[in-house]
């Protein structure tokens, strides 16, 4: 059935929004399609920002060209939405009517500075990277707050530049996602590259105004550079009062439908209503962008709304993961050795599903997906 007359508006022009737009056209939507995006740098990929772009191996962000899609683009921030009149209002005062709305506004870096405290450095956008690179060039010492995947990638960039870096967190590195076994291996590897880890009893705060260090356990630690990598916060302010979002983000079902008919959501802004929560990773944003687009057209999605492939970097090596997280206990070593920094590992979960990890070992994602599927233990 043709969707010629339907006005579809996508808010957010990063990977979830751009994937949704491409899928809308691919699935036959030949009617009006408008995309509203707040980032002056337009559409670009975030994962390289904290890897080669931060290290200086690539000067620019990877951008996408959507000019073949016949989209009306509005470079502005969506400020509010009126769900009665089906209109999105932008900060500059443009009213954009919709028949179907796709919410893809992602997340912003979580900040820990106190009100009025200036100089906090975070990493979420290309603009953040442009600001961070010269600081890295000038720094001899750094503190990274947060030992999650982003914190460890910033740490890798510090190590690559010879900066003495201390990583502070209440948990060991990547433990919340990858479990104790890999966390121990990652800590050992980072320590061998002169990274220091500081375990905090409670969340740390920033010291100085502008920021010059951190306060931890009653003492102040200073460094040339402090980078906060303390998670992210769904961008939902513009949805206030609509009932579409709550404190966790926008709840979606298997079809990326929200609490309101004709409003769908995808990517980091969304969390699964079924209980699995928010999984703010690239492959999920792609999968949900496709599902939200199909649902907005009333069509069957061609994929599931989750895709549990995730990758990251730690000092000196990359890690690819296919399968459910978090990981617990010890893996079966399929190839290589973790101590040597090159291993293929398998975890079997209680529900029969399998997670495959390529730890510093070059393996195609397709192969990891096959292994995760074929090595799963069927449950009756
Ligand atoms: C530095 C970095 C490295 C990462 N590395 C990895 C990795 O290695 N592997 C991995 O799996 N994942 C990685 N991720 C996570 C991954 O990039 C995200 O899951 C993905 O970008 C989510 O896409 P999204 O489109 O949902 O949201 P976002 O990428 O957050 O984009 C949302 C867009 O909406 C716009 N927007 C927000 N509010 C409004 C508004 N009110 N009006 C209009 N526009 C608005 C924003 O400007 C932004 O462009 C990384 C993230 C970061 C920040």
| Stretch 85-106: mean pLDDT | 98
Better-predicted residue by pLDDT, 273 or 59 = 273
Model pLDDT, residue 336: 97
Q: Which helix (H) or strand (E) holds 36?
A: strand 33-37
Sheet with 249-252: strands ordered across: 245-246, 249-252, 270-272
| Inside any domain, residue 113 | no
| Inside any domain, residue 236 | yes
Tell me: do 187 and 47 sit in the same domain: no
The answer to whether the beta carbons of residues 230 and 112 sit under 8 Å apart is yes
CA distance readout (Å), 150 to 51, 123, 331: 9, 8, 24
Phi-psi region of 61 (alpha: psi -120 to 50; beta: other; left: phi over 0): beta
Tell me: do 21 and 36 sit in the same domain: yes
- d(CA 88, CA 114) in angstroms, rounded, equals 32
- d(CA 152, CA 176) in angstroms, rounded, equals 13
Beta partners for residue 193, in sequence order:
none
Index of the ligand 1 atom closest to the CA of residue 43? 49
| Stretch 103-123: mean pLDDT | 97
Q: What are phi and psi for residue 251, nearest 5 degrees?
A: -75, 130
| Inside any domain, residue 309 | no
Radius of gyration of the CA atoms of the chain, in A: 22
Model pLDDT, residue 2: 55
pLDDT at residue 4 greater than cutoff 70: no
- How many angstroms does the Cα of residue 106 sit away from the middle of ligand 1? 5
Tell me: do 220 and 259 sit in the same domain: no
- How many angstroms does the Cα of residue 323 sit away from the middle of ligand 1? 21
How does pLDDT run across 126-149, given as a tens digit for each residue?
999 999 999 999 999 999 999 999
For the record, the structure tokens of 245 come out as 């979002």
Instruction: Tell me the residue range of the domain where 20 lies.
Output: 8-108+232-296
Model pLDDT, residue 60: 83
| Inside any domain, residue 242 | yes
Q: Which helix (H) or strand (E) holds 23?
A: helix 15-26
Q: Classify residue 80 by burial, with Cβ atoms within 10 Å: 0-12, 13-18, 19+.
A: middle
- d(CA 69, CA 103) in angstroms, rounded, equals 19
How does pLDDT run across 227-240, given as a tens digit for each residue?
999 999 999 999 99
Tell me: do 133 and 210 sit in the same domain: yes
Sheet with 354-359: strands ordered across: 309-314, 317-322, 354-359, 342-348, 332-337
Residues within a 6 A CB radius of ligand 1: 11-17, 36-39, 46-47, 49-50, 77-78, 104-107, 123-124, 150, 235, 238, 267-269, 280-283, 285, 310-312
Tell me: do 202 and 222 sit in the same domain: yes
Report the CATH number that the domain containing residue 255 is assigned in CATH.
3.50.50.60
Residue 347: band (very low, low, confident or very high) from pLDDT cuts 50, 70, 90? very high
Of 105, 154, 245, the residue with max ligand 1 atoms within 8 A of its CB, to mutate for a pocket test, comes to 105
- How many angstroms does the Cα of residue 281 sit away from the middle of ligand 1? 9
How does pLDDT run across 48-67, given as a tens digit for each residue?
999 989 988 888 888 999 99
| Inside any domain, residue 303 | no
| Inside any domain, residue 267 | yes
pLDDT at residue 380 greater than cutoff 60: no
Q: How many domains does the chain have?
A: 3
Q: What is the mean pLDDT of the chain?
A: 95
| Inside any domain, residue 270 | yes
Tell me: do 99 and 239 sit in the same domain: yes
């Amino acid at each position: 059935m043709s969707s010629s007359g339907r006005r579809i508006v996508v808010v957010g022009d990063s990977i979830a929004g751009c994937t949704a737009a491409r899928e809308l056209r691919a699935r036959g939507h030949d009617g009006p399609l408008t995309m509203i995006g707040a980032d002056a740098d337009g559409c670009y990929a975030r994962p390289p920002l904290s890897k080669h772009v931060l290290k200086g191996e690539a000067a620019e962000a990877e951008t996408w060209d959507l000019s073949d899609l016949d989209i009306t683009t509005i470079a502005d921030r969506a400020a509010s939405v009126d769900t009665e009149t089906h209109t999105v209002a932008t900060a500059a005062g443009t009213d954009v009517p919709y028949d179907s709305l796709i919410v893809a506004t992602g997340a912003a870096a979580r900040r820990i500075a106190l009100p009025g405290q200036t100089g906090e450095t975070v990493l979420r956008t290309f603009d953040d990277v442009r600001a961070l690179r010269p600081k890295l060039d000038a720094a001899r010492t750094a503190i990274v707050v947060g030992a999650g995947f982003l914190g460890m990638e910033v740490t890798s960039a510090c190590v690559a530049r010879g900066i003495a870096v201390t990583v502070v967190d209440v948990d060991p590195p990547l433990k919340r996602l990858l479990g104790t076994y890999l966390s121990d291996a990652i800590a050992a590897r980072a320590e061998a590259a002169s990274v220091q880890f500081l375990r905090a009893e409670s969340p740390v705060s920033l010291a100085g105004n502008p920021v010059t260090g951190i306060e931890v356990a009653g003492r102040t630690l200073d460094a040339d550079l402090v980078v906060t990598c303390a998670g992210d916060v769904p961008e939902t302010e513009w949805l206030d009062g609509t009932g579409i979002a709550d404190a966790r983000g926008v709840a979606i079902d298997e079809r990326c439908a929200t609490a309101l008919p004709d409003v769908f959501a995808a990517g980091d802004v969304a969390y699964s209503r079924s209980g699995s929560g928010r999984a703010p990773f690239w492959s999920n944003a792609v999968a949900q962008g496709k599902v939200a687009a199909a649902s907005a057209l009333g069509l069957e999605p061609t994929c599931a709304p989750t895709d549990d492939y995730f990758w990251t970097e730690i000092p000196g090596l990359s890690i690819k993961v296919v399968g459910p997280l978090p990981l617990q206990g010890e893996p079966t070593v399929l190839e290589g050795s973790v101590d040597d920094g090159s291993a293929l590992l398998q975890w079997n979960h209680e529900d029969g599903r399998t997670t495959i990890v390529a730890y510093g070992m070059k393996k195609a994602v397709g192969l990891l997906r096959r292994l995760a599927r074929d090595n799963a233990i069927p449950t009756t």
